[in-house]
Amino acid sequence: MARLLTPRFALLTAADLGYFTAMGIAVYALPLYVTGPLHSTNAAAGLAFGAFAISALLLRPFAGRLTDRIGRRPLLLGGTALAATSLALTALAADLPTIIALRLLLGVAEAAFFVAAFAALVDIAPPDRLGEALSLNSLGLYLGLAAGPPLGEVLTQRSFPTAWMTAAVLCLAATAASAFIGETGTPTTTNTKLIHRPAIAPSIALCTSLAAAGGFLAFAALRAQEEGLENTSLPLFLYGATVVVSRAAFAKIPDRLPPLRLGAVALAVIAAGLVLTATPHTLIAGSVVLGLGVTFSTPAFFAAVFATAEPHQRGAASGTASAFIDIGLGGGPILLGVVANASIPAALATGGALAAAGCLWTLRLHRAH
């Protein structure tokens, strides 16, 4: 069996850890900053949270083409450095339009780093262990999302600028890790397309899972306040910790099951988890159930996406799939933010309905495939 745990795999996972810990700090701090010091509404918090998706969505396909043409390393370095700049400037922001502008800048960074990181991972991973590689590499992402909110809570108790500057430093650490990875792909002169069409159908299913999870990320801390939890970052921590532990424990499962079947089951579990978060006194249980569903959803759908791509098309496939990630993570909080203005539990239940619809779509794809 080909070796998976190489130095380059470890460096890429470390870069993910630094970058997504910074994003975890922002996940916790941003809604509270918008509804607190900026005195804006829950809907404004959802808008600010999801604004990055506008620029990221527009640029993902171009980032995919660029990473196939010039390589993965330049986008890894540029994306992390630009994210550090955006987060550092957020420490100086004093109004909602400035916050939204900086979130749009963060979307540019997100497009570059995320697309290049997934393409690099597929380059590095043995083909017959891709699902395992996706599960283990994503530990950096979910450890960051698990550790980031509690760290954000501690930092914001000192000051919001302290939280934003710490997040910027973590992104610079990701830049340093990326610098040592080297180039993983072979730049191509082939006329690559912006959109990898075979990736669209499984990416729609991935989008519904992330729209549902994005609504939870945006409003979990506010829901915890409603429930009277003393530690308002606890649901976010349990969600991230569940994903981390489960992905480590069940890393080999995505390589042993048909990806679309596994994805459909994962979406059903996500829907159940969100219904629990919307139900009185079951927020903690719902956070754990949601984490179990997300454990398998992303590896399953990315395995389905990359199964459609040749090596010189991996950037385009990653760009196409990650564009749907933006629609989900950005559009989900914005859409559910409108509902949350009337009721946060209703917004979370609506996220569950989106995941259930995605489950039906995935079952249809699996039967057709």
% the chain with pLDDT above 90: 37
pLDDT for residue 353 is more than 90: yes
pLDDT value for 133: 84
Residues 6 or more apart whose CB falls under 8 angstroms from that of 113 comprise 19, 75, 76, 79, 80, 83, 174
pLDDT for residue 47 is more than 90: no
Q: Can you tell me the mean pLDDT for 16-30? A: 91
pLDDT for residue 293 is more than 90: yes
Ranking 101-105, 137-141, 186-190, 267-271 by mean pLDDT, the lowest is: 186-190
Provide the 8-state DSSP code for 36: T
CATH class of the structural domain 7-182+195-368:
mainly alpha
pLDDT for residue 75 is more than 70: yes
Give the pLDDT band of residue 273 (cuts 50, 70, 90): very high
b/e for 253-292, b at 16 or more Cβ within 10 A? bbbeeebbbbbbbbbbbbbbbbbbbbeeeebbebbbbbbb
Q: Can you tell me the mean pLDDT for 254-274? A: 92
For residue 306, give the nearest of 137, 73, 139, 130 by alpha carbon. 130
Give the pLDDT band of residue 271 (cuts 50, 70, 90): very high
Q: Give tens-digit pLDDT for 188-197.
A: 666 567 787 8
pLDDT value for 11: 93
Give the pLDDT band of residue 350 (cuts 50, 70, 90): very high
pLDDT value for 189: 62
Ranking 6-10, 93-97, 127-131, 295-299 by mean pLDDT, the lowest is: 127-131
- Burial bucket for residue 346 (CB in 10 Å: 0-12, 13-18, 19+): middle
pLDDT value for 366: 86
% the chain with pLDDT above 70: 98
pLDDT for residue 173 is more than 80: yes
Distance CA(282)–CA(284), nearest Å, equals 6
**What tokens appear for 249 in the block?**
């424990």
Q: Give tens-digit pLDDT for 309-333.
A: 777 777 777 788 877 887 887 788 8
Per the CB < 8 A criterion, the answer to whether 33 and 164 are in contact is: no
Ranking 77-81, 174-178, 337-341 by mean pLDDT, the lowest is: 337-341
Domain spans of the chain? 7-182+195-368
Q: Give tens-digit pLDDT for 119-166.
A: 899 888 887 787 788 888 878 887 887 788 889 989 988 998 999 999
Q: Can you tell me the mean pLDDT for 284-294? A: 94
